[in-house]
Chain A
Amino acid sequence: MNQINRIDGGLINRSNKLNFNFNGQSLEGYEGDTLASALLANGHRMVGRSFKYHRPRGIFSAGSEEPNALVQLRTGAYQEPNTRATVTELFHGLEATSQNHRGSLKYDLMAVNDLFSSFLSAGFYYKTFMWPKAFWEKFYEPVIRAAAGLGRLSGEDDPDIYDKGFLHCDVLVVGAGAAGLSAALSAGRAGARVIVMDEDFCMGGRLNVETLSVDDKSGSEWATQALAELSAMGNVRLMTRTTAYGAYDHGIVGALERVTDHLISSEKKPRQILWRVYTKRTILCAGATERPIAFGNNDRPGVMLAGAVRAYVNRWGALPGKRVAVFTNNDDGWRTATDLAAKGVEITAVIDSRDGQPPVDVPKGAAIVMGGRIVDTKGRHGIRSFTLSNGQQIPADCLAVSGGWSPNVQLTCHQRGRPTWREDIAAFVPGGELPQGMSVAGAASGNLSLSSVLLNGHDIGNSVVSDLGFTPSKVKSSSSEEETTGISAFWHVRESKVRAWLDLQNDVTVKDVKLSHQEGFRSVEHLKRYTTLGMATDQGKTANIPALAVMAECTGKSLPETGTTIFRPPYTPVAIGALAGRARGKDFRPSRLSPSHSWAEEQGAVFVEADMWYRAQWFPRTGETHWRQSVDREVTQTRASVGVCDVTTLGKIDVQGRDAAEFLNKVYANAFAKLPVGKVRYGIMLREDGIMMDDGTSARFAENHFVMTTTTANAVSVFRHMEFCRQCLWPEMDVHLISSTEQYAQFAVAGPNARKLLQKVVDSDHDISNEAFPFMACGEITICGGVPARLFRISFSGELAYEIAVPTRYGDSLVRTLMAAGEEFDVTPYGTESLGVMRIEKGHAAGNELNGQTTARDLGMGRMVSKKKDSIGNTLSERDGLNLENGLSLVGFRPVNRSEELKAGSHFITKGNTANMANDEGWMSSVAFSPNLGHSIGLGFIKRGSERMGEVVLATDPIRGGEMDVEIVSAHFIDPEGERLRG
């Protein structure tokens, strides 16, 4: 039998029937339904289990505040845990299952927890599970963890895609109910750029669920008309299914648009879009949330919020029960009785906690109890009846409860705002210190009657736009009939002898709050943390205020004195995938490709990530099965003849200006002022604290023009640092910096035949002989018949070497040309591994040594730090702690047993000492196999290293289970005199 509880009316499209599946059962609903309304229409009351006691749970609300009706939506990798049925738009083919039960929903084995509930009181776990000690990890905790959580992730990669975007407007209207639409009309008519967002798929808010009329139209008709007017305005953007979830500094609002969640498939479009909204003004029209009253066994399926009950009836034509009763402390609750009675639904009783006369006409046949108290309910899987304090039992399969409405102040509190209490409506309303540019209108500001909401929205819309310099339109506010909104605060039924729920999802009861008070957890934050109140997926939207009221009662303080916990973003939970947007997998970060990348790919190069760059690591040749074979060959061939390596990734900074030389003299620790034009110098750059920041070369191309290189890793931070020096420290200097990293493709050409190779491509009018172009020369030349190039005679490998740079557009062509020209020399390309081997052979420091913890002195370059001039870092580099007699120094290491392989990260211990931290004397920073020496070599830091040449120490590597004797040697393993590079 289908849709047994479907009645006439509502904003659903009965001509579009949708089939869906809940817990394996095929059901039908209509377009316009939510999963919750469709389940109710099909007579499903029980839809889940609570967190701790596994009590049966039914649909409680009709919105995003839902604590109970959480389902697992979709299947397989698309499985989406903890999804609120109340805001899940029904679609054809929807599949959902209930959560948090072992066995079936109806017969949950974990429901045994409920029997032991008195042992599982708030915070019980802090007091036990401590003995015997080993049992916590082995037994108690695994049991607790097995019970954790509600829904389940699939464990598979999220198959959907997400996107992000930026929106800009004058006015952002959050919430498109009566207040939001009124405000948007005011702002839109005045010509402001307006964005209206609503979390619902159908704008109108409670206009769509109440039977009140506006301007002699039904609420939903008025909303439709307002939306038509707004969507015709070019300056207004309407966004449904979009939740403003957080208010951030300076008027930035985070919003989530659910683009395809209401479709069976995303079809490769983004499932959700995360919007960053930059707005001059925000008008928060987020409405209000109804809250329950706590009484005995008030958690049974069928006990619902009164406003939700009439929402299901009025908007969706779905009947939550056949025999409905109302329990209220306010006039609004009565609307549920009158609305339902008007639809012919049986109202068994209206219980009003207030004394006096009924505020409205009494529905026929209903028992009316003024000053009434419900103390208990009955019904195992859903309410069947309830009991009043006088013992009277009243039947009902749906109990509509209203404890009044709490304005949705969350976004007003995301920064410093704290809500203030209004006794007349028994609710917190937005207080001071709202986020920049935010105003609040409608129910969110405490206006609870429709007529006041409409007027308030209209007026605030107008005042906001006139603030921004627009002329408000003269159109008057729409209006509605008057209604009564009386309320008298009433939070929980003291007469109840059994557990009365406050937080339905986390199973926090009135007793728990009292226990929390008894044990001294009285601050609201202690209460929250001790009982877990409000920490469930609904963030306590319906639970917090009643619970605070119970605490206030215990302490004898007023509710405003008791305060509220801090509202944190997000307003409703946001998928992590959406917050990440496109950044995942290979798209996590951009890829920078060097000019020779395509060519290297063709060569079958293996690439390595170096920051954002991909660099060729080595170039395997046919027959090479291990990377070491390739690297050994590249190194050997380069040292024997010539090799080519793409070094484009090194940072290049163009430094120009009348004071360029003096500027470099200040940013480098060593002298630069007198570097001749046409020469390159190696420079070390310190941080102001005297630690090595970076090293590189600077080449002087003209009196006022230098080209600096930095390491690949520090290119950006060095540029930033130099801009700081230029603008903030020495603003009187005429210096100009611009990065030219991208502008030039740069290749190292190294090896005894480097010159011969280059001479084949360099245009003949440029003499690059050793005499004309010696070591550390630089110059602007042309190659291959006029292509401009820069040539640097510098060497990282220790060989006769050059670096040649051409405009990037020629990079691909140049590497191919060098390979072709080098064929006669058996030229080899080499990658970063070989680069590393050769620099270790040569004793050059690199990233592992320049790790931000070492000084020039540690690196054996202490004497380069000039004491005769002011440079960054020179003063503080003189501190005692950086000049210890037994300080570290960088030296070379080789295994005493040459066949052993050194391990980077080993620590050094003097022979005979115990290997412990007190005897730790340093560490191995870089290692390589030297094909030239035929054994493993390493660079490392050890105390007084430079004085300990020849000493054998222990290199201990407990993490890999090894240790070996190593000999301290010079870091210059190859050509210590530097004859090759000058050759």
Chain B
Amino acid sequence: MIINHPLLGPRDAAEFVYKGDASLINRPDWQADDAAELFHEYLYLRDNPAGEHRELWYHEQGDRSWLIVTRNTLTHDISKVEFARDVALAERSKK
């Protein structure tokens, strides 16, 4: 696979390390009343869709950026690549 890095251009996926669903950037509030349940859902439950999937890749053999890649799990087509940090910051500003 080739991941089109937002700054560095197309790079072989072998340079990256995969983590999983992009929802892992939304870590729950540890002080919430139902924190235990929220953390259980956050860490263990997955949509695991057959189709478009937003997922985290780490450019370990590159610029060490964490990326959110939108990739189809049936075709492997990649439609979007973003810096996870930008997404995380944007989601914070929404809140």
Contacts and interface: CB of A to CB of B under 8 A. Distances in A.
**A–B: direct contact at CB < 8 Å:** yes
B30 A870 contact: yes
A878 B65 CA distance: 32
B75 A727 contact: no
A278 B11 CA distance: 10
A416 B56 CA distance: 25
B92 interface: yes
B17 A876 contact: no
Interface residues of B, number: 34
A720 B2 contact: no
A688 B1 contact: no
A750 B63 CA distance: 39
Contact of A875 (B39, B66, B85): B39
Contacts of B92: 731-732
A869 B39 CA distance: 15
Contact of B85 (A251, A689, A728): A728
Contact of A720 (B31, B58, B83): B58
B56 A728 contact: yes
Given A728-B24, A728-B85, A723 B66 contact: yes
Interface in A692-739: 716, 720, 723-724, 727-729, 731-732
Interface string B1-44: 11000000010100001010000110110110001100110010
Contact of A876 (B39, B56, B66, B88): B39
Nearest to A738: B64
A250 interface: yes
B43 A688 contact: yes
A249 interface: yes
A727 B30 contact: no
B2 A251 contact: yes
B39 A724 contact: no
Contact of B84 (A688, A728, A875): A728
A875 B27 CA distance: 11
Contacts of A874: 30
A278 B66 contact: no
Given A249-B2, A727-B84, A720 B65 contact: no
A879 interface: yes
A879 B28 CA distance: 16
Contact of B88 (A436, A720, A729): A729
Contacts of A288: none
Interface size class of A (residues with CB under 8 A): 20 to 34
Interface string B50-64: 000000101010001
A252 interface: yes
Given A720-B17, A728-B25, A875 B2 contact: no
A728 B43 contact: no
Q: Is the interface of B mostly helix, strand, loop or mixed?
A: mixed
Nearest to A725: B27
Contact of B43 (A433, A729, A876): A876
Nearest to B30: A870
B36 A879 contact: yes
Nearest to B64: A723
Interface string A393-417: 0000000000000000000000110
A688 B35 CA distance: 13
Contacts of B58: 720, 723-724
A731 B88 CA distance: 7
Contacts of B12: 252, 278
A758 to B, nearest CB: 35
B95 to A, nearest CB: 12
A436 B78 CA distance: 11
Contacts of A278: 2, 10, 12
Given A249-B76, A688-B43, A878 B36 contact: yes
Interface string A235-260: 00000000000001111100000000
Contacts of A416: 74-75
A735 to B, nearest CB: 12
Interface string A209-233: 0000000000000000000000000
B6 to A, nearest CB: 13
A731 B89 contact: yes
A250 B2 contact: yes
Contacts of B66: 723-724, 727-728
A507 B5 CA distance: 51
A727 B76 contact: no
A790 to B, nearest CB: 24
Contacts of A879: 36
A731 B36 contact: no
Nearest to A720: B58
Interface in A840-879: 870, 874-876, 878-879
Interface in A544-600: none
Contacts of B24: 728
A874 B30 CA distance: 9
B2 A724 contact: no
B40 A876 contact: yes
A727 B74 CA distance: 29
Contacts of B27: 688, 729
Nearest to B1: A249
A589 to B, nearest CB: 15
A416 B76 CA distance: 10
Contacts of A727: 65-66, 83-85, 88
Interface string A865-896: 00000100011101100000000000000000
B60 A720 contact: yes
B20 to A, nearest CB: 11
Contacts of A723: 58, 64, 66
Contacts of B85: 727-728, 731
Contacts of A433: 75
Most buried by B among A251, A720, A732, A875: A875
Given A723-B66, A728-B85, A875 B1 contact: no
B1 A250 contact: yes
B78 A250 contact: yes
Interface in A122-161: none
B33 to A, nearest CB: 12
Most central of A249, A252, A878 by chain B CB within 10 Å: A249
A824 to B, nearest CB: 46
B25 A729 contact: yes
A251 B4 CA distance: 13
A870 B76 CA distance: 37
A249 B83 CA distance: 22
A248 B31 CA distance: 46
A132 to B, nearest CB: 47
A689 B25 contact: no
B60 A252 contact: no
Contacts of B75: 415-416, 433
B21 to A, nearest CB: 12
Given A727-B88, A728-B84, A688 B39 contact: yes
A688 B43 CA distance: 8
A879 B40 CA distance: 10
Nearest to B78: A250
Nearest to A716: B60
A732 B25 CA distance: 13
Given A249-B76, A252-B2, A731-B92, A875 B25 contact: no
Given A720-B60, A874-B30, A878-B36, 15 more contacts: A248-B1, A252-B12, A278-B12, A688-B27, A723-B64, A723-B66, A724-B66, A727-B84, A728-B24, A728-B84, A728-B85, A728-B88, A870-B31, A875-B36, A876-B40
Interface of A: 248-252, 278, 415-416, 433, 436, 688-689, 716, 720, 723-724, 727-729, 731-732, 870, 874-876, 878-879
28 contacts: A249-B1, A249-B76, A250-B76, A250-B78, A251-B2, A252-B1, A415-B75, A415-B76, A416-B74, A433-B75, A688-B27, A720-B60, A723-B58, A723-B66, A724-B19, A724-B56, A724-B58, A727-B66, A727-B83, A727-B88, A728-B85, A729-B25, A874-B30, A875-B28, A875-B39, A876-B36, A876-B40, A876-B43
A-B pairs with the 3 shortest C-beta distances?
A250-B2, A870-B30, A728-B25
